[in-house]
Amino acid sequence: MRALRIAAVADIHLGEDIRGHYRKKLEGIEHRAEVLLVGGDLTRHGTIEEGQVVADELGDLPIPVVAVLGNHDYHSDADREIAAMLRDAGIIVLDDDAVVIPLDGTRLGVAGGKGFGGGFAGKCASEFGEPETKAFVRHTKEIAERWRHALKNLEADHRVVLSHYSPVKDTLAGEPPEIYPFLGSYLLAEAADAEGADLIVHGHAHLGTEKGMTPGGIRVRNVALPVIGHSYVVYCLDGEGVH
């Protein structure tokens, strides 16, 4: 099995005011990577208009683009419309499911979705008490369960999880610890560790750190634009994938 070069970025927060700028940064990406993963917060306010900017900036690239939405993309209750617009532009949008992309004889499997918060083992919210608290925690639990299912059925040579929220604390270093429960959940990492993956890519934590690892040893990368400081980063998955 050959190595795969995966470009990744998150939190591009596009809008009319910066239309055209990000697209320029993607010129020549086909020489650097075989696929682009975009980990949510594609927009600032989650409006249809901003969704159109995203579709225009990320559409018609010479390599496949896989995206998930982030919390900003939900803000105007137009998440479904935005996802549909992106799909119309040829972008693969994951919503707690998976896709297998054949790349010159090698199958890349990508599973994931927005993810959600709740916190990290030992310091997290539980499904207990008021209905509002239960609903918050249940949302993450249900997402993690759907990811587990998606990964279980994912037949591919390399497997990557794409999320907006973080699965681990490592990549949040730099954020105030008080807000960790709003930045991610260990349930996301637990799902990936249970079913196996080569890499988890996420965004959301602008003040965080690029590199981390799950308790099961899966590499985690926070690719939020302010964290990486580049238009995208490229990860090369070498050797044997995880099965």
Partner 1 sequence: METPQYVAARIQRALAEDERTNELGIRVDVRGDQVFLRGQVSCEERRHGIEDVAREAAPGLTVHNEVQLLEVSDPGEEEHL
| Residues forming the site for partner 1 (CB under 8 A) | 3, 5, 7, 13, 17-18, 21, 25, 32, 44-45, 72, 75, 198-199, 206-207, 219, 225-226, 229-238
Question: Toward partner 1, which CB reaches closer, 144 or 224?
Answer: 224
Residue number with CB closer to partner 1 (123 or 230):
230
CB 13 within 8 A of CB 39: no
Place of tokens 């965080």: 208
To the nearest whole angstrom, how small is the minimum distance from the Cβ of residue 116 to partner 1? 15
User: Among residues 148 and 158, whose Cβ is nearest to partner 1?
Assistant: 158
Contacting residues for 79 by C-beta, under 8 A, at least 6 apart: 46, 69, 73
Residue with Cβ nearer partner 1 (77 or 128): 77
Work out how close the CB of 128 gets to partner 1 at its nearest, in angstroms, rounded to a whole number: 27
Give one word for 156, left, alpha or beta, with left for phi > 0 and alpha for psi -120 to 50. Answer: beta
**H-type alpha helices, 99-154:** 131-152
Mind giving me the DSSP string for 8-35? EEB---B-GGGTTHHHHHTTTHHHH-SE
DSSP-assigned beta bridge partners for residue 38: 9, 67
Q: How far apart are CA 34 and CA 234, in angstroms?
A: 10
Handedness of CA 226, 231, 87, 161 (dihedral sign): negative
Tokens representing residue 11 in the block: 């939190």
Complex with partner 1: residue 21 or 123, whichever CB lies closer = 21
CB of 235 to partner 1, least distance (A): 5
When the beta carbons of 17 and 130 are compared against partner 1, the nearer one is 17
CB of 145 to partner 1, least distance (A): 27
